[in-house]
């Protein structure tokens, strides 16, 4: 564990050092309170429209068909007696990063009730099978005064632990008013968000919000600098490591499924690579590379795992429309002939098992400008040779640290041709492939050690304080 480093850290760009206006004294606090009151009034006024919006999302299948009232703070479970800690994560990545901390909390403080909230239905469908027995789940309330007050009034949390970057003013100010300790783990802020919060109007507000936290554990030194520049109290910023490195160490698995074992048998005599967490538009890059690889590796197969299952169905439909033979996982379709060399996964929660099928993993969300990458450590933990694009956002820290540990642990490419050459090299040279696989696995093991212990010590010191 390390305390926040001074602002003249060499990793901070001069532009960032000068981008945040300076406020000091009571005037800044008063301005922050004024901006918050405007926000509170605005969110109160648009509450009826948000109600209609959530109903519309429910009709589209984007909200839980029965539990959608939880988004307005209406509970669907009874609060148990005793102390309760609330973990909040928006989507799947943040939720999975919280699981190891929840498990340690459950083991160390068995008398403490744990409530976890997520925003997306897809995150819930995966995370529900990973939560320890007894952990409660609710869908997160919208950041409106009524929903937050209703939620806090029912659950009465003794501490709130927020994952990554959820700075919701009504939640933070209401918790502070009730003297509930707040922590932010794996705290991060994109350059775009940093610039937005640094504006003259929002800087007083974010400074006010960050002053309410008892602990901010950023995922990198640079991220810590972002929070310091936004006037977070330096004494609450503590580094402990990126929780996404330890997701796989605490993953609950019932063993390799029969369908995965069957898939391994089907692919046993083929050269396989997987493209995971693919966003819309990236399939064109992946399929273009696959077509080029077929010229030199006619026995190669690509497994495409889109970020969203519906996208997978669309990819399969489009390929079939153009005469391609595709196997779709949700339909249990087999790779029955040499002509079928594209396997599209349109299911949730199977990525870790699928990494065991392919020795080469291309991580999506990184090949189109505007995307921000995805977690590389899951593939590294499975012993895959890892390749990613250049648009990796806040995952640039993970790429940099892994490459510093061993340059072979992650291969970063900028163009479709570079991706083709990287995959081709690994498919053509078993010894080079094995070296890259071993490098990624060893780096993962090294970087993931001690992170949970560090986080837990920080939580005990700053949040639980003997609870």
d(CA 207, CA 308): 36
Long-range interactions of 378-382: CB distance < 8 A, separation 24+: 378/247, 378/248, 378/351, 378/352, 379/276, 379/355, 379/440, 380/409, 380/410, 380/440, 380/441, 380/443, 380/444, 381/248, 381/249, 381/441, 381/444, 381/448, 382/248, 382/352, 382/355, 382/356
Is residue 151 within a helix (H) or strand (E), and if so which, with residue range? helix 145-155
**Residue 244 CA neighbour count, 13 Å, CB half:** 25
The torsion angles phi and psi of 53, rounded to 5 degrees, stand at: -65, -45
Is residue 300 within a helix (H) or strand (E), and if so which, with residue range? strand 300-306
The answer to whether the Cα torsion of 122, 92, 110, 155 is positive or negative is negative
Please count the other Cβ atoms lying within 10 Å of the Cβ belonging to residue 5. 17
Cα distances (angstroms) measured from residue 313 to each of 59, 138, 291, 305: 20, 29, 20, 11
pLDDT (0 to 100) of residue 89: 94
The count of residues in the chain is 467
Helix 396-405 crosses helix 430-448 at what angle (to 10 degrees)? 110
Strands 342-344 and 326-328: parallel
Cα distances (angstroms) measured from residue 37 to each of 30, 31, 32, 212: 11, 10, 9, 16
The answer to whether the Cα torsion of 28, 30, 36, 42 is positive or negative is negative
pLDDT (0 to 100) of residue 250: 62
The torsion angles phi and psi of 75, rounded to 5 degrees, stand at: -75, 150
Provide the token pair at 264: 């391994």
d(CA 285, CA 360): 16
Asked if 72 and 54 touch (Cβ cutoff 8 Å), the reply is yes
Long-range interactions of 170-174: CB distance < 8 A, separation 24+: 170/39, 170/40, 170/43, 170/143, 170/144, 170/145, 171/141, 171/143, 172/209, 172/212, 172/213, 173/36, 173/40, 173/209, 173/212, 174/145, 174/148, 174/149
- The pLDDT tens digits along the chain (467 residues) read 444 444 444 434 444 434 445 454 567 789 999 999 999 999 999 999 999 999 999 998 889 999 999 999 999 999 999 999 999 998 888 999 999 999 999 999 999 999 999 998 888 988 988 899 999 999 999 999 999 999 999 999 999 999 998 899 999 999 999 999 999 999 998 888 999 999 999 999 999 999 999 999 998 888 999 999 999 999 999 998 889 888 776 655 555 688 899 999 999 889 999 999 999 999 999 999 999 999 999 999 999 999 999 999 999 999 999 888 899 999 988 887 667 899 999 998 899 899 999 999 999 999 999 999 999 999 999 999 999 999 998 899 899 999 999 999 999 999 999 999 999 999 999 999 999 999 999 999 998 888 999 999 999 999 997 55
Please count the other Cβ atoms lying within 10 Å of the Cβ belonging to residue 339. 8
Q: Which residue has the tokens 């070296």?
A: 435
pLDDT (0 to 100) of residue 178: 97
Q: Which of 16, 63, 70, 94 is catalytic?
A: 94
In terms of Cα–Cα distance, which of 33, 394, 370 is closest to 224?
394
The torsion angles phi and psi of 240, rounded to 5 degrees, stand at: -140, -10
Cα distances (angstroms) measured from residue 206 to each of 63, 157, 178, 294: 29, 23, 19, 52
**Is the entire prediction scored with pTM above 0.85?**
no
pLDDT (0 to 100) of residue 138: 97
Q: Which residue has the tokens 């991220």?
A: 223
d(CA 421, CA 5): 40
Our answer to whether residue 107 is catalytic in this structure is no
- 172: burial class by Cβ within 10 Å (0-12, 13-18, 19+)? buried
């Amino acid at each position: 564990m390390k305390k926040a480093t001074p602002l003249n850290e060499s990793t901070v760009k001069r532009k960032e050092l000068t981008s945040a206006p300076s406020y000091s004294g009571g005037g800044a606090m008063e301005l922050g309170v004024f901006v918050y009151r405007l926000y509170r009034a605005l969110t109160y006024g648009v509450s009826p429209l948000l109600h209609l919006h959530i109903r519309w999302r429910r009709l589209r299948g984007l909200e839980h068909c029965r539990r959608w009232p939880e988004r307005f703070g209406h509970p669907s479970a009874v609060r148990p007696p005793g102390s309760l800690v609330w973990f909040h994560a928006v989507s799947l990545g943040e939720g999975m990063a919280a699981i190891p901390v929840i498990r340690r909390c459950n083991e160390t403080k068995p008398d403490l009730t744990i409530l976890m909230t997520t925003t997306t239905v897809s995150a819930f469908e995966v995370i529900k099978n990973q939560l320890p027995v007894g952990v409660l789940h609710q869908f997160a309330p919208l950041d409106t005064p009524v929903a937050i007050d209703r939620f806090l009034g029912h659950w009465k949390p003794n501490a709130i632990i927020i994952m990554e970057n959820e700075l919701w003013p009504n939640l933070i100010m209401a918790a502070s008013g009730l003297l509930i300790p707040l922590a932010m783990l794996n705290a991060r802020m994109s350059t775009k968000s940093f610039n937005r919060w640094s504006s003259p109007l929002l800087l007083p507000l974010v400074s006010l919000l960050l002053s309410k936290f008892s602990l901010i554990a950023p995922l990198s030194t640079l991220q810590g600098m972002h929070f310091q520049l936004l006037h977070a109290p330096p004494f609450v910023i503590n580094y402990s490591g990126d929780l996404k490195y330890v997701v796989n160490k605490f993953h609950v698995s019932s063993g390799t499924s029969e369908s995965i074992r069957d898939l391994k048998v089907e692919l046993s005599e083929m050269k396989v690579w997987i493209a995971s967490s693919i966003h819309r538009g990236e399939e064109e890059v992946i399929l273009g590379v696959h077509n080029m690889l077929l010229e030199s590796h006619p026995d190669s197969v690509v497994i495409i795992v889109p970020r969203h299952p519906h996208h997978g169905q669309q990819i399969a439909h489009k390929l079939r429309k153009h005469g391609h033979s595709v196997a779709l996982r949700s339909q249990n379709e087999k790779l029955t002939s040499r002509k079928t060399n594209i396997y599209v996964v349109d299911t949730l929660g199977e990525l870790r098992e699928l990494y065991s099928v392919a020795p080469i993993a291309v991580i999506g969300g990184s090949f189109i400008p505007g995307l921000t990458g995805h977690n590389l450590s899951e593939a590294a933990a499975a012993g895959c040779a890892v390749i990613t694009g250049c648009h990796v956002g806040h995952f640039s820290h993970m790429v940099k640290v892994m490459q510093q540990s061993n340059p072979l642990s992650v291969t970063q490419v900028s163009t479709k041709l570079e991706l083709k050459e990287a995959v081709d090299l690994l498919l053509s040279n078993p010894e080079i492939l094995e070296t890259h696989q071993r490098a990624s696995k060893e780096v993962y093991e090294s970087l993931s050690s001690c992170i949970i212990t560090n986080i837990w010590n920080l939580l005990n010191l700053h949040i639980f304080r003997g609870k």
